[in-house]
Structure 1
Amino acid sequence: TYQFSQSRNVMIEKVFFSGHAKIVHLLLERNISGTIPSDSQGATPLHYGAQSNNAETVGVFLSHPSVKDEPDLEGRTAFMWAAGKGSDDVICTMLALTPHIDINMADKYGGTALHAASLSGHVSTVKLLLKKGATVDSLDVMKHTPLVRACEMGYKDVILTLIKGSARVNLVDVDGHTALHWAALGGNAEVCQILMESGISPNVQDHAGRTPLQCAAYGGYITCMAVLMENNADPNIQDKEGRTALHWSCNNGYLDAVKLLLGYNAFPNQMEHTEERYTPLDYALLGGHTEVIQFMLEHGALSIAAIQDIAAASIQAVYKGYTVRKAFRERKQLLMRHEQLRKDAAKKREEEQRRRREAVQRAPVDAAAETRRGSLERAEQEKLTSEDKDDSTVEKRNSSKGGRTKTKEERHKAQRSRLSRSSIPPDQHESPEVLSRSSTRLRELLSPTSCREPTRAKSREPAPSSASTPSTPAFSVDKTSTRGSALLKKDAHTSVHAASGKRNAHTSPLKHRVHKEPTSERASVK
C-alpha cells in the first residue's frame, strides 16, 4: 500500500497543480491513515488545488470523506485562497459541494474572502462573492473594508463594483484614514475622483490632522494633487503639528509639487506648532534642495530666523504706534469730557434762566391769589369769631337765668322756713319750760351786744320780697338792726357792680332785680 508522507506531499501538490484528477483519486483511495499532511505554513494540497483554479481536482478531493477545508497557520482556508487567486470555478465548486461553508469567515487578521479578492483586484470574484451574500463592509483588525483594500491598490473596477454594491465611502480605519487617504497615498487620481464624486470630502482629516492632499504631497503625486485641488482641497490646512502640504513637498524636494501648491495660493511661510516653528523653507534648507530653496525665495518664502527678526521690528513699531494711539485716544477723551461738561453747564444755566422767567411771570398771579386767599381766611375768621360770641352770649344768658332761678328758689325756701316758725303758737306745741328758754333767747338776741352777729349772718341769705312776706310778730328793732341792714345793702350793691362788669347788655334785668331786693328788704325791716 501507498501511504502519504512529508516527502510525497510535494508530489500531491504537483499533481493538483497539473490537474490530474484521476491520480488524485487513486492517491486518496490508497491513503490508509485517513489524514492529509500540510506544509510548513499549514497549507494542505486542497489549498494549492484551490488557488490553481482546478475545479475538477478540488471536487475529487472534497468528495473524499477524509478531506476537510482546514485553515492554515494564518487562519486562511482553501476558499480564501481561491478568492485571492480569482478562482471563480473552484469557489462555485466548493459552494456546491460544501453548502455549510461560511463565506464571511475571517482569518486571524480579520480578512475575509472578499478582502482577498478586492486586494487582488479580481472583479469577477468580487461580483460572485457579493452575489453569494458576502458582507460588503466587513472590517479587519485595522478596520479596513474591502473598499479600502481596493483603493489602496488602485483597482478602479473593483471600487466601482463595491460602491455599486452599497459600500460606504466615509468609513475610517483605526488611524482615521478614509478610502480617499489610501487612494492619495497610492497616487491614484482616477480613484480619488470616483471617491469624491461618491460624496467624500477632499478636506477630510485623519486622527493626526492630515488631509488626502498632504498624503499625495508626501508622495509627490502631481496628478492626484491637481485632482484634489480642482475639487476644492485646501492647501493651507495644517495637521496637529502645524505642517501643510507645502512642508511635505519641500521636505522631499518635489519641485513640481511645490510649484503646483504655490500656484493654488499655498501660503509659503506657514509655521509649525512645534518648538522649532519651522517653515517650508526651513524644511528645504534642512534637506539641501537647492532648486526648491531658490524657487521658494523667489516667491517670498522666509525662514523662521528671518520671521523672528521681522516680527521683533514689527512688534516694536506696533508698540510705538500703540503708545501714540493710546495718548491720542486719552487726549481725545479728555477733550470730549470737557466739551460735555461745558454743554452741561450751559444747559443748566439756560434751565435756571427759564425757571426765573417763569417765576417772574407767575409772581402777579400768585400775589392776587394770595390776596384772595387772605381775604377769604379773614372773612372765615370773622365768621367763626361772631359765631363764638353768639354761643358765649347764649351760654351766659342761660347761666344767668339758671343763677336767678336758683337764687329765687333759695329765697323762697328761707321765707317759708321763717313763716313756719313764726306762725306756730308757742302754747300749742311747746311746754312752759321751752317757752321760758325761748323768751330768754329772744332777749339775748335783742340785746345790744348780740344784735351784730345775727344781722351779719342774715345778710348772707337773700331777703324775701315785700309782696310775699307775711305779718311778723311785733317786736322793736333798735338802731343796731338798722345799721346791719344798711351794711347788707352796701354788700349787695358791691356784688351787683362786680357782676355787671362781666356780663353784657342781656344781664341788665338781673341788675334791676338786685336793686329791688334791698328795697323790699328795707320794707320788711321797717
Structure 2
Amino acid sequence: MISSKFFFAAAVLFVASLCQHSIAVAGVYEDLRWAVEDNNTGDVTKLLAKGADPNTPDENGNTLLMVAIRNKNPALADVLTNAGAKLNLRNRYGETAIMLASYNGLESVVEKLYIKGAEINHEGWNPLIYAASGGHPKIIQLLLEGGVPVNSASRNGTTALMMAAKGNHLDAARVLLKNGADPNIRNEWGKSALDWASSKKNTDFVELLKSHGAKE
C-alpha cells in the first residue's frame, strides 16, 4: 500500500516543477521584452524560435508589437507579426498596434498590418484619428481608401479633422477635406475644427477650413 508520505512528496515535487516552469517562462519573457526594448532583432528572432510568446502584455497591456512600433522599428514589427503577434489586442488605453503605427507615421507598418487583418474601422478613437493627430497625410489617405469614414469620431465627438487642427497639421487637413471631412462638426464641448485652428492663431488653417464651408 502506498503511504500518504509518498503522495505528499510527489505533490511537493509536482508543485516545485510547476514553479520552476513558471520562473523559466517568466525569464524567457523578460529576455524577450528586453530584446524588443533594445531593438535587438537578432535576439528577438532567436527567442521566438525557442517558443517565446510574442503576445504576453506588460502591466499596461502593451504587447511587444506595440513596443516595437513605439520604438519606430518596422523590421522588428515584421518579425513579431510573422511570429504570430495578435494584431487587434488593446492596451489599457484602448490602443491597438495599428493605431500606434498610424500616430507614429509608420506607413509601411500600417499597410502591412492592414493587409494582415488589423481592424481600422471601429467605434471610438481609431487609426484615422491617430494618424491625423500625428499629422501623416499619406497614412490618412491609406486608411480612407481602406474604408474608414472620414467623419468618424471618438466617443466625445472628436474627429480626425479636429485633431489635425489641434496639432496644426495643415497637409493632413487638406487630405481630410479633399475626402469630404465636415468642418462644422462639433464635439461634446461644442468645439469645431475651426475653433481649434483659431485658438492656434493659424490663419492659413482658418482660411483653408473656411474655404471648405467652415462657419464661425
Q: Which runs of 5+ in 1 are unaligned?
A: 1-30, 236-526
Specify the SS of the correspondent of 2:26.
coil
Match of 1:256 in 2: none
> Between Structure 1 and Structure 2, which shows a larger proportion of helix residues?
1
Write the distance in 2 (CA, Å) between the matches of 1:86 and 1:45: 20
Deviations 1:348-373 (A, max 9, x none): xxxxxxxxxxxxxxxxxxxxxxxxxx
Does residue 93 of the first structure (1) align with residue 74 of the second (2)?
Answer: no
Does residue 104 of the first structure (1) align with residue 88 of the second (2)?
Answer: yes
Match of 2:161 in 1: 180
How far did residue 36 of structure 1 move? 3.4
Write the distance in 1 (CA, Å) between the matches of 2:108 and 2:90: 20
How far did residue 87 of structure 1 move? 2.6
Write the distance in 2 (CA, Å) between the matches of 1:216 and 1:144: 21
Write the distance in 1 (CA, Å) between the matches of 2:78 and 2:211: 44
Write the distance in 2 (CA, Å) between the matches of 1:119 and 1:129: 14
- 1:68 is aligned, of 50, 53, 56, to 53
Deviations 1:61-100 (A, max 9, x none): 11224x33321110111122123333333233233333xx
Does residue 144 of the first structure (1) align with residue 125 of the second (2)?
Answer: yes
Match of 2:14 in 1: none
Summarize the alignment of residues 149-164 of structure 1 with structure 2, pairs less than 5 Å apart. 149-164=130-145
Specify the SS of the correspondent of 1:160.
helix
CA contact (8 A) 2:135 2:172 kept: yes
Matched to 1:156, the amino acid is: P
Write the distance in 1 (CA, Å) between the matches of 2:71 and 2:162: 26
TM-score normalised by L of structure 2: 0.80
Specify the SS of the correspondent of 2:120.
coil
Pair 144,185 (structure 1): closer, same or farther in 2 beyond 3 Å: same
- 1:34 is aligned, of 24, 29, 52, to 24
Give the share of equivalent positions with the same residue, in percent.
26
Larger radius of gyration: 1
RMSD: 2.4
How far did residue 47 of structure 1 move? 2.6
Deviations 1:264-292 (A, max 9, x none): xxxxxxxxxxxxxxxxxxxxxxxxxxxxx
Write the distance in 2 (CA, Å) between the matches of 1:125 and 1:227: 30
Pair 222,47 (structure 1): closer, same or farther in 2 beyond 3 Å: farther
CA contact (8 A) 1:137 1:145 kept: yes
Write the distance in 2 (CA, Å) between the matches of 1:180 and 1:227: 12
Which structure exhibits the higher relative contact order, with contacts defined as CA atoms closer than 8 Å and separated by 6 or more residues? 2
Does residue 132 of the first structure (1) align with residue 116 of the second (2)?
Answer: yes
Matched to 2:43, the amino acid is: T
Deviations 1:8-64 (A, max 9, x none): xxxxxxxxxxxxxxxxxxxxxxx9x524349xxxx8332342354433211111122
- 1:119 is aligned, of 75, 80, 103, to 103
Aligned length, in residue pairs: 195
Q: Which runs of 5+ in 2 are unaligned?
A: 1-20
